[in-house]
Structure 1
Amino acid sequence: MVPLYKDMNLIYMMIGNDDASVEIPVEIKTQDTTAPKIFYTFNQTEHEEATDIVISEGSTVKDNLAVSAKDYFFGDYVQDISVTASESYTEILDIGEHSVDFTAVDEGGNEASLNLKISVKKKVNKAEPFSEAVDIPTTSLVPESMLNDEQILVNRKNSLPKDFEPVLATIPEKYAVSSGYRATANTVNAFEKLADTMVKETGLKMYVTSSYRSYDYQSQLYNGYVAKHGQKEADRFSAKPGHSEHQTGLALDLVAEGGTMMTFGETPQSKWVSQNAHRFGFIIRYLEGKEDITGYMAEPWHLRYIGMETATKIYNLGLTYEEYLELE
């Protein structure tokens, strides 16, 4: 095998009609003008183009993302090459805005560079552990000015008026388990794009199995759960009327093709959604390990539409919506 980038001296032999041969020396010089490419992996997603990165104080950029570079000069044979980073890559940075530079040079002397803007945010302390035995009282109604805002926070401490109903659009039947499901227009449009992209990239399908719920319907659900399981258990997975995100029209529950909602977290669809929902403006609202903050058990099937910019920030931080709002 010829060593990479090695110049070669060959002998080209010509044979004439009289069987006489002439040896012609040929010198081949390798010229590589193809620049390498730098990649970085953040939150299990690989990127080539620079995006804004948000990390919590007390950690380094290196703790949060991995950087690599590849040389594509040899076509199908891809060669890994080393990456040089500025000192800020391994330093614990102060709260604020920072810049980290990466450089990769291949054996042909071609250089690639990447500059990442890093925002360091104040670390959020975990809330006091949520006790299933304590009934958290209603503390306040969501301000009227926020009722139709996609940034609205609805949880155990923030409730919606009984008569609140957002402007709703119908979810096309091909995206739901049956007809009649509704959500806000932006939520519907974003989910259609999300579901279509999943099919295009993976061939997998999923459907909406719950969307907008009125105050009265949520009341029926909650009271039914209490009657069947008791209030302590019901409060782990069901919101009291007025405290459900479904009443905003911004929340969707999902089911994989041929599966059930409760097993959605075990499916490849769930894995893809957890890594890509933010691209379309959604967050996984109730995260595993954050039950003491959200007040509910983990629900990998529960998507909340919040807009691409905010969803991406929350995804990059790995926080719940409650934790994110404390940073703002």
Structure 2
Amino acid sequence: MNKQLLAISGLMVLLSGCSQLNMVKESIPFFSSEENQGVPLNAEEKVESKDNSINESTNDQAAENIQQNELVLASEFFNQVKEVNGKNIIQNPTNVLALVNKQYNLPSSYSPLDLVRPDVSFSFGDEKLEKSYLRQEASDALEKMFNKAAQQDIHLVAVSGYRSYDRQAVLFDAEVNKVGKKKAVQVVAIPGSSEHQSGLAIDISSHSANLILTEEFGKTVEGKWLAKHAHKYGYILRYPKGKETITGYQYEPWHFRYVGVEAAKVIYKNKWTLEEYLNIVEKI
């Protein structure tokens, strides 16, 4: 009789611990692939539409992290959107955490007012080209990051920063004329959907990668250093490997996005994408 009571008591204890957290949205919208800066895609590299729900175990862990850290974010840091001609146009484009992709577009007239040329090494030298500019905050952070890397004998080279809507339109139209629209959208972003227009994105390479934008950059000493340290300066690796079904973009070890140090550290620690971060943090 005593053994039966013990067994029943043990079972009740086990059942009492079976509650689960359900704090995280279980799906992340899937977006089409971003431009590849002229690097052609092979058929097997094209992003295929898959089930875009986040793994349940990942959700539980993320929920636990939120419970521990009480992650909250002011509503002003989320996209404020207005539908125009069937497109979701971001109404607060100066937002440092603006989510720019194929689902959320920047206004065609938007150009940051605080663009400056960071004092770093560029692949095209000292020419003051459009792509040599970034927003002031992102530029200051980039200079600090490049300087710190140099102190550790890591020599980074900036390749492409700000790109206007009109410049993106020229690149997109040229690709359409060359390969047709169906293939063009796989390698070049539709005008308005490129992060480069925000003035917060920068493509980075190195002499060890021949100053080109290639997946091989991720295997270089410079690429590895960036992946490990960029968050300390407010930058995140925007399109990481293994997250293609969440970002909708292929792995781009050269493409870094400024989001601010606080957000970058949280994203790096949890191995999130910007999409995941904005879907998980609590809006206040």
Q: What is aligned with 2:237?
A: 284
Matches within 5 A, 1:132-143: 139-143=87-91
Q: Is the contact between residue 177 and residue 207 of structure 1 (CA under 8 Å) also seen in structure 2?
A: no
Q: Is the contact between residue 222 and residue 234 of structure 1 (CA under 8 Å) also seen in structure 2?
A: yes
Q: What is aligned with 2:274?
A: 321
- Asked if 1:171 corresponds to 2:118, the answer is yes
Q: What is aligned with 2:201?
A: 251
Q: Is the contact between residue 57 and residue 95 of structure 1 (CA under 8 Å) also seen in structure 2?
A: no
Q: Specify the SS of the correspondent of 1:239.
A: coil
- Asked if 1:214 corresponds to 2:164, the answer is yes
Return closer, same or farther for 1:97/1:237 CA change in 2, 3 Å cut-off: same
Higher strand share: 1
Q: What is aligned with 1:193?
A: 144
Return closer, same or farther for 1:97/1:292 CA change in 2, 3 Å cut-off: closer
Q: Specify the SS of the correspondent of 1:163.
A: coil
Shift of 1:155: 0.6
Q: How many equivalent pairs are there?
A: 205
Shift of 1:177: 3.5
What is the CA deviation profile of residues 226-262 of structure 1, one whole-angstrom value per residue up to 9, with x for unaligned ones? 3334434433332110111100100000111252212
Return closer, same or farther for 1:96/1:288 CA change in 2, 3 Å cut-off: closer
Report the Cα distance in structure 1 between the residues aligned to 2:65 and 2:88, rounded to whole angstroms.
Answer: 32
Tell me which amino acid in the other structure corresponds to 2:87: T
Shift of 1:169: 0.5
What is the CA deviation profile of residues 167-218 of structure 1, one whole-angstrom value per residue up to 9, with x for unaligned ones? 20012353553232101011111111111111212x1211111110010100
- Asked if 1:231 corresponds to 2:181, the answer is yes
Report the Cα distance in structure 1 between the residues aligned to 2:136 and 2:259, rounded to whole angstroms.
Answer: 13
TM-score (norm 2): 0.66
Matches within 5 A, 1:1-80: 56-59=58-61
Q: Is the contact between residue 283 and residue 305 of structure 1 (CA under 8 Å) also seen in structure 2?
A: yes
Tell me which amino acid in the other structure corresponds to 1:255: S
**Structure with the greater relative contact order (CA < 8 A, sep ≥ 6): 1 or 2?**
2
Q: Specify the SS of the correspondent of 2:255.
A: strand
Higher helix share: 2
- Asked if 1:155 corresponds to 2:107, the answer is no
Tell me which amino acid in the other structure corresponds to 2:190: K
Q: What is aligned with 2:253?
A: 300
Return closer, same or farther for 1:172/1:227 CA change in 2, 3 Å cut-off: same
Question: Structure 1: where are the runs of 5+ without partners?
Answer: 1-54, 61-92, 99-117, 122-136
Q: Alignment identity in percent?
A: 33
Q: Specify the SS of the correspondent of 2:121.
A: helix
Shift of 1:313: 0.6
Q: Specify the SS of the correspondent of 1:313.
A: helix
TM-score (norm 1): 0.57
Report the Cα distance in structure 2 between the residues aligned to 1:173 and 1:312, rounded to whole angstroms.
Answer: 23
Return closer, same or farther for 1:296/1:225 CA change in 2, 3 Å cut-off: farther
Shift of 1:57: 4.8
Q: Is the contact between residue 236 and residue 297 of structure 1 (CA under 8 Å) also seen in structure 2?
A: no
- Asked if 1:261 corresponds to 2:186, the answer is no
Return closer, same or farther for 1:216/1:94 CA change in 2, 3 Å cut-off: closer
Shift of 1:222: 1.6
Tell me which amino acid in the other structure corresponds to 1:228: K
Q: Is the contact between residue 175 and residue 195 of structure 1 (CA under 8 Å) also seen in structure 2?
A: no
Q: What is aligned with 2:13?
A: none
Report the Cα distance in structure 1 between the residues aligned to 2:203 and 2:248, rounded to whole angstroms.
Answer: 18
Return the match for 1:274 from 203, 207, 227: 227
Question: Structure 2: where are the runs of 5+ without partners?
Answer: 1-56, 73-84
Q: Is the contact between residue 253 and residue 303 of structure 1 (CA under 8 Å) also seen in structure 2?
A: yes
Tell me which amino acid in the other structure corresponds to 2:188: S
